Structure 1
Amino acid sequence: MDSVRVGVIGIGNMGVAHSKYVFEGKVKGAVLTAVVDEQKERLQWAKDNLSEEIHCYSSLEELIQSEQVDAVLIATPHHDHPSAAIKALNAGLHVLIEKPAGVYTKQVREMNEVAAKSDKVFSIMYNQRTKPIYQKLRDLIQSGELGEIRRTNWIITNWYRSQSYYDSGGWRATWAGEGGGVLINQDPHQLDLWQWTTGMMPKRVRAFCSFGKYRNIEVEDDVTAYVEYENGATGLFVTTTGEAPGTNRFEITGDRGKIIIEDDKLTFWRLRVPEPEFNREFKGGFGEPECWKCEIPVKGQNPGHAGITQDWINAILNGTPLLAPGEEGIKGLTLSNAMLLSTWTDNWVDLPINEDLFYDQLQDKINNSTFKKNESNLQTLSVDGSH
């Protein structure tokens, strides 16, 4: 095989973007051969803006039966990512899913199990992993340059969304339509990077989520979460869609200094000697380790969405390791599920979470949602994957 026939499932905002760069040949070895959407006008858009030769289908089942693709890129609504991936994998297709992996971990775990039993390449659109600044951060931590991690803090409040944004679609910011708010819709990349760069998942979470605090919505729009790690380190994750101006500041402290990413700059306050060594040998009164402020150069380009798609195609054609294996989507989702469950139960949540309890709580929210998942709503959802 010297090329991969790709089908895009869901021609909403993200599906359109993916279709365009694949069709334009920006992913070497990939050929766009088909698209899927329930709405005829979206399929007509593909004919008008891509090519008359693109095969258009109204369902994934039709696409599978057509045998026109080797792989699918899934850009459907959040709730449908796992079910679509399972169908495609069982049909012998390679799969790349948009983030998040799903809405609840029980569903995503089933998807991962199917992927593990298949011999197909399964990836997730964690395109922030392609950014050189986060790759450099991961390298500094994983190589031991920062020492043992003691604290992680991420303030990510620059997700401002107005009421008019939420009012633009009845499915937005509803349990039935999206399965959550800022955690599931805006923050999947940060929740992934939080654990991917540090290599650490918490052992327990205590979170305080506010629902409709700043906007007339039913899901969470303000979150403060505290986590504890196995090695004794602690962490804080703060996020909202209701503040302006917002902040995006990721700070990680280790026993060899601290690293801060803010304003697209990576700064390393590096201790000349590790703090434990200084503490052991210092015999004075007041004193602290000598510290150097280092502006770490970050080189390279960010290929973004096309970069993850290229990585996936390379793995299919050449067997190269994936930058973003699909199975890892459950990690960030575990964090967001744990934060919600902690709030709903007003208690600590240990990881791994009680998946059945979370599912039951979520279903109760969905059943009482202002947006009901009837056939017309699902059709509305299929054409918009914007965040």
Structure 2
Amino acid sequence: MNTNKKIRWGIIGCGNVTEKKSGPAFNKVPNSELVAVMRRDSVKLKDYAQRHHVPLTFTNASDLIHCDQVDAVYIATPPHLHAKYAIEAMKAGKPAYVEKPMAATLEECVEMNQVSMETGVPLFVAYYRRALPGFLKVKSLIESGEIGKPMRVYVELFQHHSSEKYSEELPWRVIPEMAGAGLFYDLGSHTLDYLVYLFGPILKVGGRAENVRKLHEAEERVHGAFCFENGVEGEGRWMFDANYEDFSDKIVITCERGEIHMSTFQFTPIQIVKDGKVVETMDYPRPEHVQQNLIQTVVSALLGEGNCPSTGMSAMNTNWAMWSMVKQYYTDKK
């Protein structure tokens, strides 16, 4: 790694997630710089590099990984390629920061962590809610004991996905071979990982999944029950074929002396509820670049000036929990 106390980043897979959520943040974080991007489509690659002022471009991932001007690699491909590129990067001595979910399979997560331990090269995962102010505020509320010990958590995410979206080419998020499962892996992972951050690893899981519309092979509904290390019991319902009017995005944490109401994706105001009444409301709007705070912790960790709360070891538990909920569905399909 270079010695000028600046981390020079390369991105593999500069798609939509990198346009605003993450890409610009690599230049806005102190001691960080985006110097290279890779995409197979040379026309889209050139367009991205010009718009984001990135000097180096590659159509081959290995060329970016082994470029002497790149210190660390951000992997923003579909999940089925996370392990391949992260492992190659770590074996080349380059820290890897991968999109979520960590990988398409639990076995790939295990292999990625094993390579990280064997090489001593860090591995981070983009569960950025672990570094956002509103989500950190909820963590501090729980740890302070202000509304008593947490006992239960309920999660609900209902989204509408019309059949028109699947009338032509299927998006990778509903192709299990690429995504690991369906939209549950893409979206449900955010909530589950955040809850792991609050309550510790998930130790027990039960669940079922189904696909009613049969527009693709992936599950569209998941119902899970889980228990965390600290004894908190959880229930989650995810539905990606709901009616428009049934849209829902909520997390309800029940404590001894009240509840915390919040959302995963909508950035609605956080509410403290006691005896059925809202007694406090806290507003934490969506930041311009939602990954910036977490990227800052990654850069600090790489410079030996801090720690990142989202690593390959913490992220693997989320993959295990999700697979435990959908495993029977995919086993039955074989």
TM class by smaller structure: 0.7 to 0.9
Residues in 2 aligned to 1:177 and 1:102: alpha-carbon distance in whole angstroms: 9
Query: 1:167-178 to 2 correspondence within 5 Å?
Result: 167=167, 169-172=169-172, 173-178=174-179
SS, match of residue 82 in structure 2: helix
Aligned 1:188-337 pairs, distance under 5 A: 188-203=189-204, 205-211=205-211, 213-214=212-213, 216-229=215-228, 233-243=232-242, 244-245=244-245, 246-262=247-263, 264-269=268-273, 293-297=278-282, 302=287, 304-337=290-323
* Equivalent residue number for residue 183 of structure 1: 184
One-letter amino acid matched to 2:217: E
Change (3 A) 1:46 1:301: closer
**SS at structure 2 position matched to 1:41:** helix
Q: 1:166 maps to which residue?
A: 166
Paired residues of 2:96 and 2:123 also in contact (CA < 8 A) = yes
Q: Which amino acid aligns with 1:45?
A: D
Q: Partners of 1:18 and 1:258 in 2: how far apart?
A: 30
Distance 1:20 1:176, change over 3 A: closer
Go from structure 1 to structure 2 and tell me whether the alpha carbon gap of 1:318 and 1:219 turns closer, same or farther (over 3 Å shift).
same
Residue 13 of structure 2: which of 10, 15, 18 is its match?
Answer: 10
TM-score normalised by length of structure 1: 0.75
- Cα deviations across residues 152-197 of structure 1 (Å, max 9, x unaligned)? 111111x322223234533531222322112112222112112222
Amino acid at match of 1:330: M
Give the match for residue 147 of structure 1: 148
Q: Where does structure 1 lack aligned partners over 5 or more consecutive residues?
A: 271-289, 347-360, 365-387
Which range moved further: 9-18 or 189-198? Answer: 9-18
How far is 1:132 from its partner?
Answer: 2.3
The 8 Å contact of residues 79 and 178 in structure 1, kept in 2 or not, is answered as: yes
Distance (Å, rounded) in 1 between the aligned partners of 2:21 and 2:281: 33
Partner residue in 2 for 1:37: 39
Task: Report how many aligned residue pairs link the two structures.
Answer: 324
Distance 1:320 1:232 in 2: 29
Tell me, yes or no, if the aligned pair for 2:80 and 2:179 is still in contact at 8 Å. Answer: yes
Q: Which residue of 2 aligns with 1:21?
A: 24
Q: How does 1:5-154 map to 2 (within 5 A)?
A: 5-17=8-20, 20-22=23-25, 25-51=27-53, 54-154=55-155
Q: TM-score, normalised by structure 2?
A: 0.86
Q: Is the 8 A contact 1:201 1:229 kept in 2?
A: yes
Q: Distance in 1 between matches of 2:276 and 2:209?
A: 37
Aligned to 1:14, what secondary structure does the other structure show?
A: helix
Which 10-residue stretch deviates more, 226-235 or 183-192?
A: 226-235
Q: Equivalent residue of 2:210, what SS?
A: strand
Q: Quick one: structure 1 residues 180 and 167, their matched pair in 2 at CA, closer, same or farther if it must change by over 3 Å?
A: farther
Q: Which secondary structure state, in structure 2, belongs to the residue aligned with residue 66 of structure 1?
A: coil
CA distance in 2, matches of 1:195, 1:48: 39
Q: Which amino acid is 1:242 matched to?
A: D
CA contact (8 A) 1:72 1:96 kept: yes
Report the counterpart of residue 286 of structure 1 in structure 2: none
Q: How does 1:334-353 map onto structure 2 within 5 Å?
A: 334-344=320-330
Shift of residue 300 of structure 1? 8.2
Kindly state the Cα deviation for residue 22 of structure 1 after the two structures are TM-superposed.
Answer: 4.8
CA–CA distance in 2 between the matches of 1:196 and 1:170?
A: 33
For the residue of structure 1 that corresponds to 2:66, the secondary structure is helix
Per the TM alignment, residue 108 of structure 1 is displaced from its structure 2 partner at its CA by 0.4
Q: Is the 8 A contact 2:157 2:237 kept in 1?
A: yes
135-144 vs 337-346, which deviates more? 337-346
RMSD across aligned positions (CA): 2.8
Instruction: Tell me the distance in 2 between the aligned counterparts of 1:227 and 1:183.
Output: 16
Shift of the 299–230 alpha-carbon distance from structure 1 to 2, 3 Å rule, reads closer
Gaps spanning 5+ residues in structure 2: where? none
Provide Cα deviations, 1:211-241, integer angstroms capped at 9, x if missing partner: 2x24611101111112245666532100111
Letter in 2 for 1:265: P
Deviation (angstroms), 1:117:
3.2
Relative contact order higher in (CA < 8 Å, ≥ 6 apart)? 1
Matching residue of 1:350? none
